[in-house]
C-alpha cells in the first residue's frame, strides 16, 4: 500500500510535464504601485516589493487585490524573497541581505560579496543573488552567513528579478530600449534552458516569483503583473519516503530531505531531482545522524525510501495545551551529555482539530521512565527553555516559581530542584529525578501556565538544552574503615567478578582544599566506547559504593565481555577491568 501511494504521488507530480509554452500568459492584473521591484511567494500569497515606496504588498493571486501591506523604509531594496516565515530583501546600496520581522523591521543583516545585489531568492538551502555589477554580471550562490558558494556568468547586461522553481533558476535581462528577456538556467552549469520575451513588449522585468506551478512576472514598463507558464522539465526524478522514530515507529514531521519537508505523518516527496546517485545526511534533534550513500534517482521514476532513525538515548516529552483543549506532544531523546535542541513546532503531534489555532495556556514537561523495577530511577537536566521568541524559563532567578507538579497516585514521584551543573557555566539548570518504587509505570508532569494565554505560529520552534543519564544510587560506607577519612583517591576491584547480573564497585574520595570535587565513574568497552556513566556528581570526602546492573545508557542489557570502569576526580584517573558473564 505504501509503495502504491508513493508511486501514485510521483505520477501526479509528473502529470503536468506536458508540452510547455514558457511565457504564455494565464492571467494579468495591474500593479498596486507604479514602481515595481521584486516578487515572492509564501506558499499561498503573492508579494510585491515597491521600488520607491519600499512597501511589501500582499496580493490575492486570483485577482491582484491588496490584502495587506508592510512598510520597510529600506532605501535601495530591490530583491525580495521569503524564508522560514520571514521576508528577506537585497539592498543594492550596501550589498547586504536583510531579514525582516512581521512589522518590516530589520532583525538581521548579512553582507554578501556582490557589486550590485539586485534580485534575491531562497532555494531551500542557500540564497541565489542576481549581481548586476559590470563588467561581469553574475548569478551568485551564498550561504546564510554570506559566504560565496558558487557563481556563473549572466548572458546579459542587466539581471533583474530572480526566482527558483525547485530545480532551475529564472532571471530576467532588462532592456529599456527594447524588450526584456526572461531566462531559465541550469543552476550548476549556468547553461540556458529556455527563454521568452516579456509579455506586452515590456522592457523592464523587475521581479519574478514561482508559485509551485507557474511563473509570476512584474513588468515595470507597463505597471502590470503576469502569471505565465513556466517550463517543467520531465527529465528529473523523485525520491518519496517515510522518516520514522526507530523506537516508537511513529513518523517524524518537519525533517528536511533534499529541500523537501516531511509532513506531520513523516512522509515527504523530493521532486525535480536530476538523475544520479545521492548521498543523504538526515539530522534530527534527539536522534543519531543517519547517512545514506548511493541512493539512485532515475529520470521519470520514483525512488522509495523508508528510514528509521535511532534515538540517542532515553525519551523525554513536551506538551503544549491550547485554550480550546487541544494537546500537542513532542517526543525527543537525550543521552548522558548536554545537547542543544532546536525543534520545529510542526514536529509536535496530537489529535486536536487545528494545530496551534488557539492561544497557548500551558507548557508541560513530561519525563518518561522509572518504575521498571523498585530500584529504577531516571534523571533529566533541562536548561534555557525558549518557545518561539518567548523565554519559558532559564532558571537563573534561582527558584521554580510559576511551575506546578502533577503526580499520579500510583506511587510515582518527581523530585525537582535547581542544579549548578549547566551546559554554559551559568548559575542554574533544572534537575528532575523520577521513578516509581512500587515497580509500576511512572507518571508525572511539571506544568507552566500562562495568563493571559499567548499565541504562537506553527512556523516557530522550541529551543532548549537537555541531558540525562541512568541514575545509579551511590551510598556511603559506614562506619568509615579505621574511623578516619581517606587520604587518597582509590578504586577497588569490583565484586563479584566475574559477575551476572550485577556487581558492586567501591571507591574513596579524599578531601580537596576549598572545594567539593565532582566525581565521575563510567564504564567503557575495550574499544574505548562509553557504555554508561554510573555517577557524575559532587561528593564529600568518604568511602562509597554503588551497584552496576550491566546495562547501557539506555537501560538495555549489555553482552558478555570484559569492561573497563574509570574513576575520575579533578586531574586524577583510576581504571580497572571487570568481566560480565551472561
Fold type of domain 18-229: Neuraminidase (2.120.10)
* Res. 141: pLDDT tops 70: yes
| Contact criterion met (CB below 8 Å) for 266 and 251 | yes
| Contact criterion met (CB below 8 Å) for 59 and 44 | no
Range of weakest confidence among 212-226, 230-244, 481-495: 230-244
Phi, psi of 345 (to 5 degrees): -65, -20
Alpha-carbon span 429 to 340, nearest angstrom: 13
Fold type of domain 237-309: Immunoglobulin-like (2.60.40)
* Res. 443: pLDDT tops 60: yes
Mean pLDDT, range 287-303, rounded to an integer: 86
Greater confidence (10 vs 359) lies with: 359
| Contact criterion met (CB below 8 Å) for 141 and 113 | no
At 398, is the pLDDT very low, low, confident or very high (cuts 50, 70, 90)?
confident
| Contact criterion met (CB below 8 Å) for 327 and 364 | no
pLDDT single digits (tens) 90-106: 999 999 999 999 999 99
| Contact criterion met (CB below 8 Å) for 547 and 534 | no
E strand or H helix that includes residue 11: helix 2-14
pTM (two decimals): 0.48
Fold type of domain 474-580: Immunoglobulin-like (2.60.40)
pLDDT single digits (tens) 11-48: 334 333 345 689 999 999 999 999 999 999 999 999 99
Q: Which residues make up the CATH 2.120.10.30 domain(s) of the chain?
A: 18-229
Q: Which residues make up the CATH 2.60.40.1120 domain(s) of the chain?
A: 237-309
Alpha-carbon span 430 to 375, nearest angstrom: 23
Each residue of 133-153: b (16+ CB within 10 Å) or e?
eeeebbbbbbeeebeeeebbe
Q: Which residues make up the CATH 2.60.40.4070 domain(s) of the chain?
A: 474-580
pLDDT at 387: 96
What percent of the chain has a predicted confidence (pLDDT) above 90? 61
Mean pLDDT, range 462-480, rounded to an integer: 75
Mean pLDDT, range 164-170, rounded to an integer: 90
pLDDT single digits (tens) 297-349: 987 678 999 999 988 878 899 999 999 999 999 999 987 778 899 999 999 99
pLDDT at 17: 39
Amino acid at each position: 500500500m505504501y509503495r502504491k501511494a508513493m508511486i501514485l504521488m510521483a505520477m501526479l507530480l509528473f502529470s503536468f510535464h506536458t508540452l510547455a509554452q514558457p511565457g504564455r500568459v494565464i492571467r494579468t492584473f495591474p500593479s498596486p504601485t507604479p514602481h515595481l521591484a521584486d516578487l515572492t511567494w509564501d506558499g499561498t500569497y503573492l508579494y510585491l516589493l515597491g521600488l520607491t515606496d519600499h512597501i511589501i504588498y500582499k496580493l490575492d493571486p486570483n485577482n491582484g487585490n491588496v490584502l495587506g501591506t508592510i512598510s520597510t523604509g529600506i532605501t535601495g531594496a530591490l530583491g525580495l524573497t521569503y524564508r522560514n516565515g520571514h521576508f528577506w530583501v537585497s539592498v543594492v546600496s550596501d550589498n547586504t541581505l536583510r531579514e525582516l520581522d512581521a512589522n518590516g523591521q530589520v532583525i538581521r543583516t548579512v553582507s554578501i560579496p556582490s557589486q550590485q545585489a539586485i534580485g534575491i531568492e531562497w532555494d531551500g538551502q542557500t540564497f541565489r543573488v542576481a549581481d548586476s555589477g559590470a563588467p561581469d554580471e553574475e548569478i551568485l550562490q551564498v550561504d546564510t552567513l554570506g559566504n560565496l558558494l558558487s557563481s556563473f556568468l549572466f548572458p546579459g547586461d542587466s539581471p533583474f528579478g530572480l526566482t527558483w522553481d525547485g530545480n532551475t533558476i529564472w532571471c530576467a535581462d532588462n532592456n529599456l530600449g527594447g524588450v526584456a528577456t526572461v531566462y531559465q538556467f541550469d543552476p550548476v552549469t549556468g547553461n540556458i534552458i529556455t527563454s521568452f520575451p516579456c509579455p506586452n513588449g515590456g522592457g523592464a522585468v523587475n521581479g519574478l516569483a514561482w508559485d509551485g506551478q507557474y511563473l509570476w512576472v512584474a513588468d515595470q514598463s507597463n505597471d502590470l503583473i503576469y502569471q505565465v507558464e513556466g517550463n517543467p522539465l520531465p527529465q528529473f526524478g523523485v525520491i518519496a519516503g517515510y522518516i520514522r522514530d526507530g523506537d516508537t515507529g511513529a513518523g517524524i514531521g518537519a525533517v528536511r530531505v533534499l529541500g523537501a519537508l516531511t509532513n506531520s505523518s513523516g512522509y515527504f516527496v523530493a521532486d525535480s531531482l536530476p538523475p544520479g546517485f545521492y548521498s543523504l545526511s538526515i539530522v534530527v534533534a534527539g536522534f543519531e545522524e543517519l547517512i545514506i550513500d548511493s541512493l539512485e534517482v532515475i529520470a521519470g521514476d520514483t525512488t522509495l525510501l523508508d528510514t528509521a532513525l535511532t534515538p540517542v538515548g532515553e525519551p523525554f516529552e513536551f506538551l503544549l495545551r491550547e485554550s480550546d483543549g487541544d494537546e500537542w506532544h513532542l517526543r525527543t531523546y537525550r543521552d548522558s551529555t548536554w545537547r542543544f535542541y532546536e525543534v520545529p513546532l510542526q514536529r509536535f503531534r496530537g489529535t486536536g482539530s487545528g494545530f496551534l489555532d488557539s492561544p497557548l495556556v500551558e507548557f508541560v514537561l513530561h519525563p518518561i521512565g522509572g518504575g521498571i523495577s523498585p530500584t529504577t530511577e531516571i534523571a533529566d537536566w533541562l536548561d534555557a527553555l525558549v518557545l518561539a521568541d518567548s523565554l519559558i524559563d532559564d532558571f537563573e532567578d534561582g527558584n521554580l516559581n510559576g511551575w506546578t507538579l502533577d503526580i499520579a497516585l500510583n506511587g510515582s514521584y518527581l523530585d525537582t530542584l535547581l542544579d549548578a551543573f549547566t551546559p554554559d557555566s551559568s548559575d542554574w539548570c533544572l534537575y528532575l529525578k523520577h521513578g516509581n518504587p512500587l515497580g509500576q509505570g511512572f507518571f508525572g508532569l511539571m506544568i507552566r501556565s500562562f495568563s493571559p494565554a499567548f499565541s504562537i505560529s506553527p512556523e516557530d520552534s522550541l529551543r532548549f538544552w537537555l541531558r540525562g543519564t541512568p541514575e545509579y544510587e551511590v551510598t556511603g560506607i559506614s562506619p568509615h574503615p579505621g574511623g578516619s577519612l581517606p587520604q587518597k583517591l582509590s578504586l577497588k576491584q569490583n565484586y563479584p567478578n566475574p559477575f551476572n547480573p550485577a556487581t558492586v564497585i567501591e571507591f574513596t574520595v579524599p578531601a580537596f582544599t576549598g572545594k567539593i570535587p565532582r566525581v565521575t565513574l563510567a564504564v567503557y568497552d575495550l574499544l574505548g566506547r562509553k557504555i554508561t556513566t554510573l555517577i557524575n556528581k559532587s561528593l564529600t570526602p568518604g568511602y562509597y559504593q554503588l551497584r552496576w546492573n550491566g546495562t547501557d545508557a539506555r537501560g538495555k542489557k549489555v553482552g558478555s565481555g570484559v569492561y573497563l570502569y574509570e574513576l575520575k576526580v579533578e586531574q586524577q584517573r583510576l581504571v580497572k577491568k571487570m568481566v560480565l558473564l551472561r
